[in-house]
Structure 1
Amino acid sequence: MGKYWLICFLVMYVFTVNGQSTPEKFVSKDSLYNENIKKSKLYGVYIPRDIDDALSKLMELTTPEAREPMKNVDEEVVAKKLHFGLGRWMEYNWNFAEGSRFSHYLRQKGIIYTDDMTRFMLILFHRQVVGHPLDVDKLVKKIVDERTKKIEEERKTYKVISTEVKLNSKN
């Protein structure tokens, strides 16, 4: 009878120990971001170091014939028209959403939203094509101020669902 209980105990022990596997290591987006910002290539695509590198890459990728119509249009119009073409290409290939060394560079400048990064680069590209000064710091300030204003305006439209009043209990 004692051997029977010993065998039952050992079988139960083996199943409980075997059933508790160690959890797989969790990889967060933050660690992916931290890995991506160190790489010069992601998914086979070269990632620019900075604005000058990005602009030279855009000049390399486009033909003079493709850049010619941009010279007759305002930079804001170009940014809107190219947002879902060249802009999406930049956002996807330069990995603005998941992080890359270039998106990290732009975040350090103060541009944190991917749509703002795209708009920022399209405006700078237009200025480069037209031959206007880039004025990077002024453009960063303008885009950040516009985003802040937009967020504040959205907050004003929020409706209060409920309010709570906490009463201090006197002991």
Structure 2
Amino acid sequence: MQKVLHIDPAKCTGCLSCEMACSYENYGVFATAKSRIKVFDFHHTGRKVPYTCTQCDEAWCLHACPVEAITVDKTTGAKVVNETTCVGCKVCTIACPFGTINYVQETGKVQKCDLCGGEPACAEACPTGAITFIDANWTGLSRMQQWADKLGNQPVAA
């Protein structure tokens, strides 16, 4: 069963624990600028929303890469950047409709969430449960059910 990050913005307090955990997991330093997950701050509403790579099924970044530096991890299903192969052309950053692939000036390569090999540090560090790592099938069903309920999902009289 594949798992995905599930983000519930209503639970986010903007503590940045996810960003700190990500940067430490991937670079060994607490530096939000190096994080592969970001917390967007909607100043006018006071809302904080974590966002990162959604590991799209279509994976436009993967298909756009001219040197095939982005591959699918067979264990986690994550689309992973191979830094050895990456030439830093940034085509994947243009192809990503969500803007979750970032160019790293120091390395001349790109970075994106790789689900930490199946144990996402951001989800483990989140104190409010705004970021969880759950079965992929559950998220789709849950979203469909929520929309159906909003639309008046009532049994039809026969």
Where on the TM-score scale, by shorter chain, does this alignment land: which range?
under 0.3
Flag the structure with higher strand content: 2
Normalising to structure 2: TM-score of the pair? 0.26
Q: Which has the higher contact order (CA 8 A, sep 6+)?
A: 2
Tell which structure's C-alpha radius of gyration is larger.
1
